[in-house]
Structure 1
């Protein structure tokens, strides 16, 4: 019987049927008229390969400029570049859920979830409400001394790089790396009241950066074929040994940090311990609890709804999403400002006027001060427009009954999405100069145009699934950028376009520049 089932004739019939089904789906369904690469009609291999190449943000923009507002990048995958699509796909009340691509961003277990990857809309909504207050801006401004501590140490490190002559240019510095060290240590302080130590050592502490990069490369590609995830996830971790690799390594590292935190709950704040050791001015600990303490308190108050798994996932999410995204954005701000001297001069004038150097006062720039500098805010906003941290479509699944978007009907089960890089390059929304870094567009004074641009500005996503940690990132950027511009001079080592690689996070490779302290003004 088994021999009959696997006979050459049976295999040939099955292959023929599969081929005919593939051809029918490619050319004779309701979405067959949607243009795109020929191979993408038949297989997701085109998309997987393009992600592997690490340039899909460019590929995606080129697809739309070649084919129009609706393009395919897989048999059932469609990218949308139409102004009204964002609200239909991501707006409040939308019934579209996240696609199976997100499954690789968590452990392959039916019980496993995190806020980013959860495809269960009801569970996500319930869990997000439990975390929401912890991540609100009103809560985070109490962590400003933590951000200041890391900014102090970063500035000290930059000053030390030209220590033989305080006004001499440093040797080439990989600022992308140092900005990631800064972002990682800020998230360590906010989460555990203790820096992880990246700024202290200037290196990848505990191999965390490497494993985070490995996780991003794995999850972004394998997500195209999520049925492989249970197999590859276990195989990779078995081969890596007891500490695991990629996401599992980050989980294990987080658990170690949590254990240390709980073993020493009344330890002296690191701002007084390591700050003195590193030569950084001591600061008063803010009168607030770190994230882990807040999570543990919520668990103690309601252990059945805020479980130990909630505590762990909150900390893991901070580790995974709280460093790369902010460091990428900081790198983009600095890179584009330095490539535009007029922008640099205007920004520096604004900072000098509002927060001048003063050797007898604190060097820190408060979040409130940053909000009173409109050109600074325009620069940050524009940098995140031309270089959002994520660079793949935010995929959603069309629900029962189908959905019409941009005058195209998508049947149930179709995957539709908008890539922030595509949305931000739309000339109808952002103007004919959408490809150019131009902060002035946010200061145009045209209320209607500003409203339109703001609705389609999506570096942190849109709707109910936007990034819950966006306020942490903005707090770090708004405080550090003006301080770097005020206190240092930078010079790019290479005037050519920088090299970036897109594995979900669109990360610069080696942002090399010369650095030196700036002569005090006045």
Structure 2
């Protein structure tokens, strides 16, 4: 009996050893061994089972954790929180730590001071008529368009008008003739990757500048030229007329108190507007339109609401932001799109300060980076925002973070929501959008902002 047990044990050990050798050899010989991913994923699915089973806290680096629970939202992002932004944000800004901006400033008190300087300046107009004209023109040709690209042209010209009282000209042909979209994408790729190893940002940014790389260098040159042009136009109007765009007001603040609001503040605020404003708005608009195109019954419901609320003698372009706020299904469609596809695709990391923090029963010591990813819904269901259950609404609202939360809420949130609330009704009321390849899944690229790549549609008048 003992001999039989020994033989069985040897057999089991041999089987385990052979299986282990097989798994290792298979991993080494795998033609896809160059594809990046978790180390243990090369050998077993057990790591995946473990991550799925363990629930709302997942380690993503040796000292960084992604949290999936709304209960952590107020602790990490709530008003009065003392969490610093994580080092990831360093790579998105000036390598000189003395020249931070509203997006990359990590210290809560300094961020609050910078935010107070400009918070009351964020209001907006739109370029509806010109965009509608361009869509009318393309509808007459039957030529397909990339909807995300066109919406980025719209958003880029919109942020130019808001910031500098001028369009950048992207809507003239709906082309990126200046190469700004390419440079912005290059900058975002850099920020998302170097952000993971932010300590190399001062060296990497100087090296790229010496090589004459595009990205941030091109964006800075572009913004500098636009700012110089705006200053010249303001000087020529000295003593006559008024200007109410963003730059004229921050230049007035700079002139009134150049020590409190430096020219560096002026420049960094402008480049934050132009750099982040167009991508975030265009991705959000694209998310709304894509899911409405994919769900004809929901599109019909929204059109019915617009028909019902449109007053006699008025056009859909006359809808004000306040009017749009009183359209519950429109607002539900927008909120749901930003739940299924928010603009940002990485956790909003914050650094735990002295004393540590307990979240979901887990104690995180000082220096740990924790954050919540803004993606929280897999299916597009606007109706879930229209329920009468306050407790359930509070629960789903707890996951809603497309613009961040608390003191770190995106300062351009109101501009983005205004653009969407004004433009979406016009697009769905005036036009039909038909996907060129409806059988294709949506393709996206995550470089901090998650940009849609293949929303190719033919446009026609309703």
CA contact (8 A) 2:140 2:460 kept: no
Bigger CA radius of gyration: 2
* Aligned-partner Cα distance in 2 for 1:201–1:216: 25
Which sections of structure 1, spanning at least 5 residues, go unmatched? 1-47, 52-60, 165-169, 269-285, 426-434
**Match of residue 222, structure 2, among 253, 256, 271:** 253
* Aligned-partner Cα distance in 2 for 1:357–1:174: 34
Shift of 1:326: 0.5
Using a 3 Å threshold, how does the CA distance of structure 1 residues 179 and 128 change in structure 2: closer, same or farther? same
Does 1:107 find its partner at 2:61?
no
Does 1:401 find its partner at 2:367?
no
CA contact (8 A) 1:382 1:438 kept: yes
**TM-score normalised according to structure 1 size:** 0.76
Does 1:514 find its partner at 2:461?
no
**Match of residue 431, structure 2, among 488, 497, 502:** 488
Deviations 1:150-177 (A, max 9, x none): 221111111111336xxxxx22111110
Matches within 5 A, 1:435-454: 435-454=378-397
**Match of residue 308, structure 2, among 353, 358, 373:** 353
> What residue in structure 1 maps to residue 55 of structure 2?
68
**Match of residue 209, structure 2, among 237, 248, 253:** 237
Does 1:476 find its partner at 2:419?
yes
CA contact (8 A) 2:128 2:317 kept: no
Matches within 5 A, 1:123-522: 123-135=110-122, 140=123, 143-144=124-125, 147=126, 150-163=127-140, 170-240=142-212, 245-265=214-234, 289-355=244-310, 363-421=317-375, 424-425=376-377, 435-495=378-438, 496-518=440-462
Following superposition, which runs of at least 4 residues in structure 1 exceed 3 angstroms of deviation?
48-51, 61-67, 360-364
* Aligned-partner Cα distance in 2 for 1:353–1:514: 27
CA contact (8 A) 1:64 1:81 kept: no
Q: How many residues align?
A: 415
* Aligned-partner Cα distance in 2 for 1:230–1:308: 22
* Aligned-partner Cα distance in 2 for 1:372–1:226: 44
Shift of 1:288: 6.1
Deviations 1:212-252 (A, max 9, x none): 00000011011111122111111111111xxx521222111
* Aligned-partner Cα distance in 2 for 1:478–1:215: 29
Shift of 1:93: 2.3
